Amino acid sequence: MKALLPLLLALTLGATSLKAQQTAEKFVLETKYLLALPEGYGKDTSQRWPLVIFLHGAGETGLDLNKVKMHGPPKLVEAGKNFPFILVSPQTASFGWQPDVLYQLLQSLKKQYRVDNDRIYLTGLSMGGFGTWALGMKHPEEFAAIAPICGGGDTANIWRLRYTPVWCFHGAKDEVVPLTSSQKMVNALKQYNSNVQFTIYPEAAHDSWTATYDDPAFYTWLLAQRKHRFQPVKVDAKTLAGYNGRYTNRKNDTLTITSNGTSLDVKAPGHTLQLKAASPTVFYWEASAPIDVEFTKTGFVLRAEEREVFRKIK
């Protein structure tokens, strides 16, 4: 009997493997959110609208969605404010925002509502400020601008926001989230991005959001931003030909660049990418996130990773 059991198990597994099929499925974490549609949303079904995602703070965490109405844009809507954009205010049931969950929510919103994909904005306060930085850095390709309020985060991937307009806010007397939390993020980002504003309220403590969300100038700035898109330009053949050659980085990865008359072809083992010109020295290839290279006298800088340098092999 002992010898028969392994044999039966093997036969059973073998028979199962012959018949087994796999299908693609997905697990979706339920996320509740408040929705406010702009006036006129239902009239012209061809019109696309800006989308603002608001992330609440730690005090509004839980399962009671009404708590999200305590601060920020949802509070203003509850008081009768009509915004000229779709406002979505999700609620997290546990402490901290999960960028992957928010990203899936955003993809669902874009399918369900008439969203202008070039005008998607992200903002949040306190814990939501941290969430705004985190989601913005993980998926900069989604947002036309972000506005974190009294938040902070890890600066390791701050470079990914190099093309995203950012307006950051903080109270100078904040004892819950120190002012330095925002200062660290802003200072790091300014190395890569000149389109960064930082407003410090000299007398404000942790509540630096009421003044921000009550200010019409904030919404004027937000809605004026558009998602970054490279605009192709024509570069003369001589300039393009000057980039021909072999390049290597400190890991000894080798790439070959050749001009095809209107753009550049980059060849790596098993791959060929086409680089289009955004300027005589900055080139890009089409991807979901902005990926670009900048040529220098000695080689080029790849910005798919944080300033990875390739030198030209003579």
Distance CA 46, CA 219 (A): 24
The CATH number for 237-313, chosen from 2.40.128.50, 3.40.50.300, 3.40.718.10, 2.60.120.890, is 2.40.128.50
State residue 20's pLDDT score.
Answer: 59
**Do the two domains 33-224 and 237-313 of this chain adopt the same fold?**
no
What is each CA distance from 186 to 6, 138, 230, in whole angstroms?
63, 17, 24
Instruction: State how far the Cα of 233 lies from the Cα of 164, in Å rounded to an integer.
Output: 21
Q: What is the model's pTM?
A: 0.83
CATH number for the domain whose boundaries are 33-224: 3.40.50.1820
Helix axes 127-138, 99-112, angle to 10 degrees: 70
Cα–Cα distances (Å) from 21 to 12, 215, 306, in that order, read 16, 57, 42
CB-based contact 290:283 (threshold 8 Å): no
Closest CA to 113 of 53, 197, 31, 175: 53
**Segments making up each domain of the chain, as ranges:** 33-224, 237-313
pLDDT tens string, the chain, 314 residues long: the values are: 333 333 333 333 344 444 556 766 555 567 899 999 999 998 888 899 999 999 999 999 999 999 999 999 999 999 999 999 999 999 999 999 999 999 999 999 999 999 999 999 999 999 999 999 999 999 999 999 999 999 999 999 999 999 999 999 999 999 999 999 999 999 999 998 999 999 999 999 999 999 999 999 999 999 999 998 888 899 999 999 999 999 999 988 899 999 998 899 999 887 888 899 999 999 988 765 667 899 999 999 987 656 789 999 97
d(CA 12, CA 14): 5
